Amino acid sequence: MTEKTTQPGPRELFGDVAPALAAYSEDVLFGQAWKSPELSPRDRSLVTVASLITSGSSEQLTFHLPLARQNGVTEAELIETITHMAFYAGWPKAMSALTVAREVFRAA
């Protein structure tokens, strides 16, 4: 598992602009859904990364790739996930995700 890093939470990032959405994100999404015992944080991270690739939400990967690493997913597993998603989500979405991943991994 990689070393834990502290990232700003939703309230810190968007609380001044959208306090209700920031609160829902922090309290319900990350406070309840991510803590549900039916899936491990590692599995949730893989599902989330795959979903973000599928939807073309590359910007969100800048948060979720480091979180996935913090949750025990290796860089090699994340690259393999992106590669695998190319066949299901489309080549352009996978290439966009790969561009973000390269930046995130270089910054780590």
| Span 76-85, pLDDT tens digits | 999 999 999 9
Mean pLDDT of 60-77: 97
Between the CA of residue 101 and those of 3, 14, 27, 45, 74, what are the distances in Å? 18, 23, 27, 14, 12
Residue 2, in any domain of the structure: no
71 and 88 both lie in a single domain? yes
Question: pLDDT grade, residue 1 (50/70/90)?
Answer: very low
Is 3 a residue whose pLDDT tops 80?
no
Would the pLDDT of 72 be above 80?
yes
Query: Domain range spanning residue 18?
Result: 8-38
**Same domain as 96, residue 51:** yes
Q: How far apart are CA 70 and CA 42, in angstroms?
A: 9
Question: Which residue shows structure tokens 């390269």?
Answer: 102
Report how many domains make up the chain. Answer: 2
